[in-house]
Amino acid sequence: MEKMNIPKVKKSYSAYGIGGTIRLAGNMSSEIYDGKSSKLIVRKDLKDMINQLIDTDMEYVNTLLQVNASRIHTAIPGFIILNTIMKTLSIDEINISDKGIREGYLLSKIN
């Protein structure tokens, strides 16, 4: 596999995201870190959730099961990919859309 040459970014950014993994991360963050919005995922919280899930912290595993049990097999790989993207592109937080890819596709066909 060929390595991508992605330039280092010195400034941190916010981003917007859609999709199941990002929504799951936001919902878990909201449940675990009381008072945080489910519409925002902060990279340091995401890293903590990854570490706790890998260490099989039952509080985090149970929260994942309560939030979306059907994603139990894809949550950790998805969170790791999301964290890697955030780190590589210097993204500190992602604002989470309540719309999904299907809504965007439908709107593009309507317009």
12-64 confidence digits (pLDDT tens) = 778 999 888 999 999 999 999 877 788 999 999 999 999 999 998 898 899 89
Q: Tens digits of per-residue pLDDT, 61-110?
A: 998 998 988 988 899 999 999 999 999 888 999 999 887 777 777 777 78
Residue 46 is predicted with a pLDDT of 96
Using alpha carbons, list the distances in angstroms from residue 96 to 7, 42, 68.
25, 11, 16
pLDDT at 19: 86
Maximum separation of any 2 CA atoms in the chain, in Å: 47
